[in-house]
Amino acid sequence: MISKEKLLEDTMKVKKPSKKMIAALAVVIAGISIASYFGVTNAAGSDTPGAIQREYPVTRGDITAGINGQGVLHYGSAPQNFSEAVVIGEALVKPGQAVKAGDKLVMADEGKLSEAIEAAQNELEKARIALKQAQSAKTLGELNAQKEAASQAVGSAEADGQLAQANSAVDSLRQQVDALTAQISETDAQLAALPEGGPQAAELNTRREALTAELDAAKQELESAQLNRSSLEDAKNRQDEAQAKNDAIDKKIAGENSGSLQNAIDLAMLDVDAAQKKAGQLQAIKDDPYLYASTDGVILSLDAAPGAETKTESPVAMIGDPNTKTLTVPVSQSDIGKIEEGQDAEFMLDAFGDQKFTGRVQSRSLVPIKDSNPVSYNVTISVDPNDAEMLDGMSANATMVIKRQKDVLQLSNKAIFVRDGKQYVKMRNDDGTLRDAEITTGFSDGKVSEITGGLSEGDTVIVEG
């Protein structure tokens, strides 16, 4: 018989288990756990001894198919900036901070504002001087044009006067020729009535000779006057033609000069208005040097380092509006043609697990995303109102709906198999054995299919393996 002391001694000599023994024990335990999890491995009625059986229920619900993509949630953004460029004095908020409309965001440097106001007033004075110079230039141009027109009018009047005198001389000489011709005719008539050789006839012949000599002289003068008049008429016509051309050119030049000078005046007036506006806005900022939030929201970005100068085209701060949210989802070139504005969409956010949210396609960009491979285009989805606390920048998995079947029987595609062109599922008989049941299907999203015949809601389908 072994004594208690011997047993105790043997017990004390037992070695501790090695690492290999511990690892082997872990494998055995894991195998038992897996077998327990998947259930009986050789279920009664199975066509394949040792096969694991899984159950898939026939349920009722919606089936949705569409274009899937991963995107990012964005708040609607409201840029915040001063009305004029200023130097930052102090930032009063931080990125990520919630603000209310009217909250102070940034303070401008008041000392730098005084310098900016003085510079703006100098610019205003220069603009006013430039405006006066432009107005004076236009007035001077108009006066010179009037002077030139008056000078041309004087020259034209002189030519008209000379031509009028020539016309008068021709008319007077023509009358003189007509009168002398009439006197000679009268003398010839008197001579015809007198006997030849008489003293009275001799006197009339002498008179006729004198009249004839005077008529010849008058005709020569008339011819000379007519030539002079023709010359003056030709000169006047040439002058009128040249004047007409000059007038057209002068009118065009005057129009161009006037337009150019008026443009200069208009630009100068714009400069004056801009300088006045700038000076006024800078003074208003100096009177109240704070930039206020225009809306409730969250500070998404802040570019307000003390001493930095702001730019009117670049916002100092960006406020995101949690009540206006959108998703930006890249869509490949092969699918972008299937996307339309107003199209239904649904999405899930990683932060909310399997919870689904809805929205609509708001727009799609027609410009590809730079360096995207494959070529993709951004689609913007407006988010329908909801109570979830969605934050700017959250990642999402979205589906832009192409087709949706509502409230239909559905079954996982894993439970359906095809044989000889027909669709079947495995059903369990009352005795536990399995049978193949033919079914018909309709719409499918690639994961589940609509059941149109052969199954009822609540049926359970078996899948082996």
**CA distances (Å), 436 to each of 52, 425, 462, in order?**
17, 6, 10
Domain boundaries, the chain: 4-51, 54-81+315-464, 114-285
Residue-wise pLDDT for 283-339, tens only, equals 999 999 999 999 999 999 999 999 999 998 999 999 999 999 999 999 999 999 999
Looking at residue 47, its pLDDT comes to 54
Q: Does domain 54-81+315-464 have CATH number 2.40.30.170?
A: yes
The CA distance from 114 to 111, in Å, is: 5
Give the tens place of pLDDT for each residue, 79-131: 999 999 999 999 999 999 999 999 999 999 999 999 999 988 998 898 889 88
Task: Check pLDDT > 70 for residue 277.
Answer: yes
Q: Mean pLDDT across the stretch 3-8?
A: 37
In this model, does residue 141 exceed pLDDT 50? yes
Q: In the numeric block, which tokens belong to residue 433? A: 């054995």
In this predicted model, what pLDDT tens digit does every residue of 55-83 receive, in sequence order? 999 999 999 889 999 999 999 999 999 99
At residue 6, the pLDDT reads 37
- Please, which residues have CB within 8 angstroms of residue 433's CB and are 6 or more apart in sequence? 44, 45
Options 2.60.15.10, 3.40.50.300, 1.10.287.1490, 1.10.510.10; which CATH number does 114-285 get?
Answer: 1.10.287.1490
Q: Is the pTM higher than 0.85?
A: no
Q: b or e along 253-266 (b: 16 or more beta carbons within 10 Å of the residue's beta carbon)?
A: ebeebeeebeebbe
